[in-house]
């Protein structure tokens, strides 16, 4: 009989969440480095360089890899000979660990959980509750797998119940392009096949916590049907040409994991969940001897890589920018932004558009005439920081507001991550505006370009409040120009044709 003390369990959860907030798994760094070295697309290679440089900066500074520090997901395998020294539920103990981790004074993490999910959606302020899955197993130890799952990748989760005779490969190849780039590739795909609807999703999620080992599999060859399927999907998904950040390139996925379970004869449940460039997970075992001890990686594990944001970039003064100037920008062009821009994401856009619809004036300081808005919800600053990690959020969530924002506020540009939908692209072209893309998964690097930050409006929205940033040489790429040409359409199409293994009709 093993006794797991509440204090050891809570401390282990808190330490693990702090650990994964700033340390990428080393298998991911090795795989991304290999993909970077092999990449032939300049835009994708630049994006991966930013992710790798950001990763090392976070490891050195012990600050979050991404501003979206995730929803906490925990898988527990509890030995049947384990007893708990606590009067709390397992959920309550996990939540206490989450609370301590996300409110840590030296490295506060962004709280993203809201309740209730429909209606007020108020932020819980400490990122609780966690999502906990438990399984009773033989033994006298406690196995813990813990992840911080970002919303951008979680939102791209897919599920279908196929006919037993349908092709899993065909479904994946048709589905991945519909996920866009909001999940911040290159990452992993977790796939669950079989069982019931809910079990397929759980298998897909847990598969993402396995180490990246596809390169070993490629070298030795498949030994069973599932390994052969992994190899086939790895090759064919990368042949889609989506590439890093959806810009077009050779590396869209770094590994494909597949878990299976017996299922009903009439069914083939299939779930697919991606892990993003800010993949964060760790596992440990408690045996009653104390809290978990996590071994920090060595800085030598990161590639010796320098990134020059000024090379080939156009410098832009946001404070004097005009529509005539942005009309000169070309799709795929790299820019360095300096000057003032406002921030705002889902909740702020909803309030602004509701105020406009009622004919009300916008709050003082929210003048968007000839301005840019940055879709971001930053981490709180520490020490002498003016803002914590502040990378972009997925822009498609703002598509529904874009026409009204461009038509009624004087806004001329937006900064976010990933692609825009057809309606938003059409609106951008109609108003002669532009959409710029920053690299998702490089939040600490981006934050170094932010020289000041002040709260402007909607303080009650927390990380979703409107702020004014003053930036200096903030790196971005023209993703949709003023004529409506979009690199997230042209880039993958070009690279899919170059790779030449996937028919055009797959879209």
User: Can you tell me the mean pLDDT for 57-68?
Assistant: 95
Predicted confidence band of residue 501 (pLDDT cuts 50, 70, 90): confident
Domain ranges of the chain: 1-149, 151-277, 314-492
Is the per-residue pLDDT at 506 higher than 80?
no
Q: What is the pLDDT of residue 310?
A: 87
| pTM of this structure | 0.94
Q: What is the CA radius of gyration of the chain?
A: 23
Is the per-residue pLDDT at 348 higher than 60?
yes
User: Can you tell me the mean pLDDT for 353-369?
Assistant: 95
User: Can you tell me the mean pLDDT for 100-118?
Assistant: 96
The residue among 203, 188, 222, 198 whose CA lies nearest residue 261 is 203
Q: Where are the alpha helices (DSSP H) in 294-419?
A: 323-326, 346-357, 399-409
Is the per-residue pLDDT at 449 higher than 80?
yes
pLDDT digits (tens, 9 = 90+) for 267-304: 999 999 999 999 999 999 999 999 999 999 998 999 98
349-381: string of b/e by CB count within 10 Å (b at 16+)? Answer: bbbbbeebeeeeebeeebebebbbbbbbbbbbb
User: Can you tell me the mean pLDDT for 233-258?
Assistant: 97
- Residues in the chain, how many? 507
Is the per-residue pLDDT at 507 higher than 70?
no
Q: What is the pLDDT of residue 502?
A: 78
pLDDT digits (tens, 9 = 90+) for 5-23: 999 999 999 999 999 999 9
Residue keyed to tokens 């869209």: 252
User: Can you tell me the mean pLDDT for 182-201?
Assistant: 97
Average pLDDT, the chain: 96
What single DSSP character describes residue 495? H
Q: Rounded CA gap, 107 and 61, in Å?
A: 10
Reduced to 3 states (helix: H, G, I; strand: E, B; else coil), residue 350 is helix
What beta strand segments (E) does 370-498 contain?
372-374, 413-416, 434-437, 450-457, 466-480
Residue keyed to tokens 């992993």: 188
pLDDT digits (tens, 9 = 90+) for 299-332: 899 998 888 888 889 999 999 999 999 999 999 9
68, 278 Cβ separation under 8 angstroms: yes
Return the CATH number of 314-492, one of 3.30.230.10, 3.40.50.300, 3.20.130.10, 3.40.50.970.
Answer: 3.20.130.10
273, 201 Cβ separation under 8 angstroms: yes
């Amino acid at each position: 009989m093993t006794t797991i003390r509440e204090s050891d369990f809570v401390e282990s959860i808190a330490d693990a969440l702090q650990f994964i907030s700033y340390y990428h798994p080393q298998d991911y760094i090795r795989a991304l480095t290999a993909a970077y070295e092999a990449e032939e697309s300049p835009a994708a290679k630049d994006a991966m360089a930013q992710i790798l440089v950001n990763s090392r900066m976070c490891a050195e500074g012990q600050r979050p890899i991404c501003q979206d520090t995730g929803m906490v997901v925990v898988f527990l395998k509890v030995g049947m000979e384990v007893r708990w020294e606590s009067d709390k539920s397992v959920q309550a103990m996990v939540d206490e660990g989450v609370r301590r981790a996300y409110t840590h004074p030296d490295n506060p993490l962004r709280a993203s959980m809201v309740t209730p999910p429909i209606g007020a959606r108020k932020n819980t302020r400490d990122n609780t509750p966690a999502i906990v899955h438990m399984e009773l197993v033989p033994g006298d130890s406690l196995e813990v797998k813990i992840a911080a799952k970002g919303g951008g990748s979680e939102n791209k989760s897919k599920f279908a119940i196929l006919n037993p005779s349908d092709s899993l490969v065909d479904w994946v190849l048709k589905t991945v392009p519909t996920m866009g780039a909001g999940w911040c590739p290159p990452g992993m795909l977790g796939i669950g096949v079989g069982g019931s609807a809910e079990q397929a999703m759980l298998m897909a999620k847990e598969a993402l916590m396995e180490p990246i080992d596809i390169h070993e599999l490629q070298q030795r060859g498949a030994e069973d049907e599932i390994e052969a399927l992994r190899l086939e999907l790895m090759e064919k998904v990368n042949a889609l040409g989506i590439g890093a950040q959806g810009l077009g390139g050779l590396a869209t996925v770094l590994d494909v994991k597949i878990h299976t379970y017996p299922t009903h004869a009439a069914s083939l449940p299939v779930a697919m969940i991606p892990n993003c460039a800010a993949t964060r997970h760790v596992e440990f075992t408690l045996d009653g001897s104390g809290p978990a001890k996590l071994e920090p990686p060595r800085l030598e594990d990161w590639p010796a890589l320098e990134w020059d944001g000024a090379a080939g970039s156009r410098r832009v003064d946001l404070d004097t920018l005009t529509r005539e100037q942005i009309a000169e920008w070309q799709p795929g062009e790299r820019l360095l932004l300096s000057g003032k821009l406002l921030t705002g994401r889902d909740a702020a856009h909803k309030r602004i558009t509701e105020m406009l619809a009622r004919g009300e004036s916008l709050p003082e300081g929210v003048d968007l005439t000839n301005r840019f808005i940055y879709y971001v919800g930053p981490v709180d600053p520490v020490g002498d920081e003016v803002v914590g990690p502040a990378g972009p959020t997925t822009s498609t969530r703002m598509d529904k507001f874009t026409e009204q924002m461009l038509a009624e506020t004087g806004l001329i540009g937006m900064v976010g991550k990933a692609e825009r939908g057809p309606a938003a692209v059409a609106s951008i072209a109609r108003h002669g505006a532009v959409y710029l893309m920053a690299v998702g998964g490089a939040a600490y690097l981006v934050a170094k370009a932010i020289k000041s930050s002040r709260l402007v409006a909607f303080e009650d929205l927390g990380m979703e409040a409107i702020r004014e940033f003053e930036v200096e040489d903030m790196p971005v790429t023209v993703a949709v120009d003023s004529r409506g040409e979009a690199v997230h359409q042209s880039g993958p199409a070009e690279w899919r044709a170059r790779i030449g293994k996937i028919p055009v009709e797959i879209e």
